[in-house]
Amino acid sequence: MKTYQPKMGEINRRWVLVDAEGKTLGRLATQIAVILRGKDKPVFAPHQDTGDFVVVINAEKVVVTGKKLLQKTYYHHSQHPGGIKSVTLEKQLADKPERVLESAVRGMLPKNRLGDALFGKLKVYAGPTHPHAAQRPVALAEAR
Protein backbone atom coordinates (compact mmCIF):
# COMPACT_ATOMS: atom_id res chain seq x y z
CA MET A 1 0.00 0.00 0.00
CA LYS A 2 1.42 3.39 -0.99
CA THR A 3 1.58 6.41 1.28
CA TYR A 4 -0.74 9.21 0.26
CA GLN A 5 1.04 12.33 -1.06
CA PRO A 6 -1.17 15.42 -1.38
CA LYS A 7 -0.48 17.45 -4.52
CA MET A 8 -0.21 21.23 -4.39
CA GLY A 9 -3.52 21.57 -6.27
CA GLU A 10 -5.31 19.45 -3.69
CA ILE A 11 -4.33 21.68 -0.77
CA ASN A 12 -7.08 24.21 -0.14
CA ARG A 13 -5.76 27.03 2.05
CA ARG A 14 -8.21 29.19 3.93
CA TRP A 15 -7.87 32.04 6.40
CA VAL A 16 -9.09 31.39 9.95
CA LEU A 17 -9.89 34.19 12.40
CA VAL A 18 -9.34 33.42 16.08
CA ASP A 19 -10.52 35.73 18.87
CA ALA A 20 -8.23 35.19 21.88
CA GLU A 21 -10.36 37.15 24.32
CA GLY A 22 -10.93 35.13 27.50
CA LYS A 23 -9.23 31.98 26.15
CA THR A 24 -6.46 30.12 27.99
CA LEU A 25 -3.03 30.65 26.45
CA GLY A 26 -1.85 27.05 26.12
CA ARG A 27 -5.16 25.59 24.96
CA LEU A 28 -5.51 28.31 22.35
CA ALA A 29 -1.92 27.79 21.17
CA THR A 30 -2.52 24.07 20.59
CA GLN A 31 -5.63 24.78 18.50
CA ILE A 32 -3.70 27.30 16.42
CA ALA A 33 -0.77 24.91 15.94
CA VAL A 34 -3.11 22.16 14.71
CA ILE A 35 -4.66 24.52 12.14
CA LEU A 36 -1.24 25.80 10.99
CA ARG A 37 0.04 22.25 10.47
CA GLY A 38 -3.13 21.12 8.71
CA LYS A 39 -3.79 18.26 11.10
CA ASP A 40 -7.50 19.06 11.01
CA LYS A 41 -7.67 18.19 7.26
CA PRO A 42 -7.94 14.79 5.60
CA VAL A 43 -5.00 15.63 3.28
CA PHE A 44 -2.52 16.03 6.17
CA ALA A 45 1.03 14.88 5.55
CA PRO A 46 3.64 15.41 8.29
CA HIS A 47 6.36 16.48 5.86
CA GLN A 48 4.29 19.01 3.87
CA ASP A 49 2.69 22.36 4.57
CA THR A 50 -1.01 21.57 4.26
CA GLY A 51 -2.24 24.03 6.88
CA ASP A 52 -4.21 27.26 6.80
CA PHE A 53 -3.40 30.87 7.58
CA VAL A 54 -4.39 31.99 11.08
CA VAL A 55 -5.23 35.56 12.15
CA VAL A 56 -5.42 36.07 15.92
CA ILE A 57 -7.05 39.19 17.35
CA ASN A 58 -7.29 40.43 20.97
CA ALA A 59 -4.02 38.75 21.96
CA GLU A 60 -3.75 41.17 24.89
CA LYS A 61 -6.87 39.64 26.46
CA VAL A 62 -5.57 36.07 26.66
CA VAL A 63 -5.90 34.38 30.06
CA VAL A 64 -3.37 32.33 32.01
CA THR A 65 -4.07 30.16 35.03
CA GLY A 66 -2.33 29.94 38.37
CA LYS A 67 0.60 32.22 39.24
CA LYS A 68 2.06 32.25 35.73
CA LEU A 69 1.73 36.03 35.37
CA LEU A 70 4.39 36.51 38.02
CA GLN A 71 6.39 33.27 37.78
CA LYS A 72 6.69 32.57 34.03
CA THR A 73 9.78 34.19 32.55
CA TYR A 74 10.81 34.74 28.93
CA TYR A 75 14.51 34.91 28.11
CA HIS A 76 16.38 36.29 25.12
CA HIS A 77 20.05 36.95 24.47
CA SER A 78 21.72 39.81 22.58
CA GLN A 79 24.65 37.55 21.53
CA HIS A 80 27.05 39.73 23.54
CA PRO A 81 28.78 38.60 26.74
CA GLY A 82 26.40 39.04 29.66
CA GLY A 83 23.58 39.93 27.27
CA ILE A 84 20.86 37.68 28.63
CA LYS A 85 17.60 39.48 29.34
CA SER A 86 14.54 38.19 31.16
CA VAL A 87 11.01 39.50 31.34
CA THR A 88 7.97 38.16 33.21
CA LEU A 89 4.75 37.17 31.48
CA GLU A 90 2.92 40.07 33.13
CA LYS A 91 5.33 42.65 31.68
CA GLN A 92 5.43 40.94 28.29
CA LEU A 93 1.61 40.98 28.10
CA ALA A 94 1.63 44.69 28.92
CA ASP A 95 4.39 45.62 26.43
CA LYS A 96 4.15 43.17 23.52
CA PRO A 97 1.18 40.80 23.92
CA GLU A 98 1.65 39.40 20.40
CA ARG A 99 4.97 37.81 21.36
CA VAL A 100 3.39 35.79 24.18
CA LEU A 101 1.05 33.93 21.84
CA GLU A 102 3.68 33.71 19.08
CA SER A 103 6.21 32.04 21.39
CA ALA A 104 3.59 29.60 22.70
CA VAL A 105 2.62 28.55 19.17
CA ARG A 106 6.22 28.44 17.90
CA GLY A 107 7.10 25.96 20.65
CA MET A 108 4.40 23.60 19.35
CA LEU A 109 5.60 23.60 15.73
CA PRO A 110 8.42 21.51 14.22
CA LYS A 111 11.93 22.82 14.83
CA ASN A 112 13.03 22.88 11.17
CA ARG A 113 12.39 24.72 7.88
CA LEU A 114 8.86 23.39 7.76
CA GLY A 115 8.17 24.90 11.19
CA ASP A 116 9.53 28.25 10.02
CA ALA A 117 7.24 28.17 6.98
CA LEU A 118 4.25 27.27 9.15
CA PHE A 119 5.04 30.06 11.61
CA GLY A 120 5.04 32.55 8.73
CA LYS A 121 1.32 31.87 8.25
CA LEU A 122 0.48 33.09 11.77
CA LYS A 123 -0.62 36.73 12.12
CA VAL A 124 -1.17 37.98 15.68
CA TYR A 125 -2.63 41.37 16.65
CA ALA A 126 -3.05 42.83 20.12
CA GLY A 127 -6.33 44.62 19.43
CA PRO A 128 -9.59 43.74 17.69
CA THR A 129 -8.60 45.09 14.25
CA HIS A 130 -6.50 43.41 11.57
CA PRO A 131 -5.50 44.28 7.97
CA HIS A 132 -6.58 40.92 6.47
CA ALA A 133 -10.23 41.70 5.70
CA ALA A 134 -9.59 41.21 1.96
CA GLN A 135 -8.80 37.52 2.59
CA ARG A 136 -12.24 37.10 4.23
CA PRO A 137 -11.12 35.00 7.22
CA VAL A 138 -13.62 32.55 8.66
CA ALA A 139 -14.18 32.44 12.43
CA LEU A 140 -12.65 29.46 14.25
CA ALA A 141 -16.01 27.95 15.23
CA GLU A 142 -17.24 28.03 11.61
CA ALA A 143 -13.95 26.64 10.24
CA ARG A 144 -14.34 23.29 11.97
Report the DSSP beta bridge partners of residue 57: 19
In order along the chain (144 residues), what is the average pLDDT of each group of 10 residues? 85 95 96 96 92 97 96 96 97 96 97 97 97 94 68
Pick from 49, 13, 29, 30: which is nearest to 137 by CA? 13
Q: Which CATH number fits domain 12-63+98-143: 3.90.1180.10, 1.10.3720.10, 3.40.50.150, 3.90.550.10?
A: 3.90.1180.10
Q: Give, to the nearest 10 degrees, the angle between helix 97-106 and helix 25-37.
A: 60
Determine the 3-state secondary structure of 119 from DSSP. helix
Residue-level pLDDT at 28: 97
Those residues whose C-beta lies under 8 Å from the C-beta of residue 5, and which sit 6 or more positions away, are 45, 48
Buried/exposed code over 108-119 (b: 16+ C-beta within 10 A; e: otherwise): bbeeeeebeebe
CA gap 68, 104 in Å, rounded: 13
pLDDT at 121: 97
> Whole-prediction pTM value?
0.93
> Shortest CA distance to 46 belongs to which of 90, 133, 140, 112?
112
Domain residues of the chain, as ranges? 12-63+98-143
17 within 8 A of 53, measured Cβ to Cβ: no
Please tell me the predicted confidence (pLDDT) of residue 113.
97
Residue 132 pLDDT: 96
- pLDDT, residue 143, reads 61
What is the predicted pLDDT for the residue at 1?
Answer: 80
